[in-house]
Amino acid sequence: MRRFSLPILPAGWFAVSIATLLLVACDDTDQPTQWRIALEEVEGSIQYQYAQRFAEEVAERTEGEVEVNIYPYGALGNIEDIYEQLQNNAVHFAFGSGRLGATVPESQLFSLHFVLSDDELVNTRALNSPDFLWSEDLQQAYQERRFQLLSLLPEGWQVWSANQPIRTPADFSGVQIRIMDNRLLRETYRAYGADPTPMEYGELYSGLQQGVVDAAIQPFFAHQEMGFYEVQDYLISARQSQFVASFMASSIFYERLPRDKREMLQEIAADLVEWAHEMQQEVNAERLEQIKQNSNIELIELADSEREEFKELARPLRARFSSEVGSRGERLLAKLLDEVQEAEQ
């Protein structure tokens, strides 16, 4: 049975390593020839494959002047550590998802349920349309926290795993479901009747195995690569939301780059949008097939009538998001809804 654990490091290693990275990253005399990118996911994941392609593009377009080093989840600490390192220019690029909502409240927009289309390509295009991605509201939301948003990466539908079938909100009653520590997600799953429980990603397998939590939320690829399906009986697809990761640069690093390098990063991110969509679909389909071949887990696809019950409970969360985040969040929600509608047409 497959298990995931973080590497055991010598005492003091983390502090020394980060201090070393900071010294290198903050050298004003020359731009680094080695750029660092930190992931929220393990080697082989969608973020890892995106980072590999990104690194290849950077190497090619700089004619080998710049090399991008990739650090999978756990190599540089936990997710909060990664965000702090990005803000301090200890790493140059990183991904941020649900947990990012505590730092960039506006990013909780991507955790809202039943906002996006049922068509994944529509969502990819809407999220990365220049009018939305490079809007003043969205860019300022990240820049104020020392992040430079470059792209939004949908990684597939968020799929519930559980030890009991979940077809209605009533089925969520009393279910302890692991969530990323995100206020909007807590409120959403409370509205469904569940007991949302934050837990570190690296602890989730043992948490499910030992019954500390009863259920989880991940795309198919993560259920497979982390082995969560091994300790759950059902996978439930409601198409309530996609897992959306923000691909970001350190704003300190980005602002120090010459104009041609900044333009190069924007061009690479834009060029990878359609490729990333096809890649994530292939990865999720392959991983779902592996789950089917290696387990007897039952797959449930909710009917439209079943999804409607969850939609009704999720809709008030839009107003909650707007009231908590403010007018900028309200404008971003309206803009995203418009972009989705336009992409559908």
| Sign of torsion over alpha carbons 179, 183, 185, 188 | positive
In this prediction, residue 241 has a pLDDT band, given cuts at 50, 70 and 90, of very high
Q: Please give the pLDDT value at position 99.
A: 86
In this prediction, residue 182 has a pLDDT band, given cuts at 50, 70 and 90, of confident
Residue 223, helix vs strand vs coil: helix
| pLDDT per position as a tens digit, 105-149 | 999 999 999 999 999 999 999 999 999 999 999 999 999 999 999
Q: Tell me the sheet residues that pair with 148.
A: 249
| Sign of torsion over alpha carbons 139, 142, 144, 148 | negative
Whether the pTM exceeds 0.85: the reply is: yes
Q: Please give the pLDDT value at position 23.
A: 43
Q: Please give the pLDDT value at position 12.
A: 39
Return the CA Rg of the chain. Answer: 20
Q: Tell me the sheet residues that pair with 200.
A: none
Domain 159-241+296-318 belongs in CATH node 2.40.160.10 = no
- Averaged pLDDT, 59-67: 95
Fold agreement (14-155+244-284, 159-241+296-318): yes
Q: Is the pLDDT of residue 104 over 50?
A: yes
| pLDDT per position as a tens digit, 200-236 | 888 999 999 999 999 999 999 999 999 999 999 999 9
| Sign of torsion over alpha carbons 274, 277, 283, 285 | negative
14-155+244-284: what fold?
A: D-Maltodextrin-Binding Protein; domain 2 (3.40.190)
Least confident range from 48-52, 73-77, 251-255, 334-338: namely 73-77
What average pLDDT does the structure give for the chain?
91
Between residues 313 and 32, the one the model is more confident about: 313
Q: Please give the pLDDT value at position 275.
A: 98
| pLDDT per position as a tens digit, 1-59 | 443 333 334 333 444 355 445 444 444 445 558 999 999 999 999 999 999 999 999 99
CA separation (Å) from 57 to 87, 227, 260? 24, 31, 15
User: What does the domain layout of the chain look like in residue ranges?
Assistant: 14-155+244-284, 159-241+296-318
| pLDDT per position as a tens digit, 138-160 | 999 999 999 999 999 999 999 99
CA-CA distance, 44 to 48, in Å (whole number)?
6
Q: Please give the pLDDT value at position 33.
A: 82
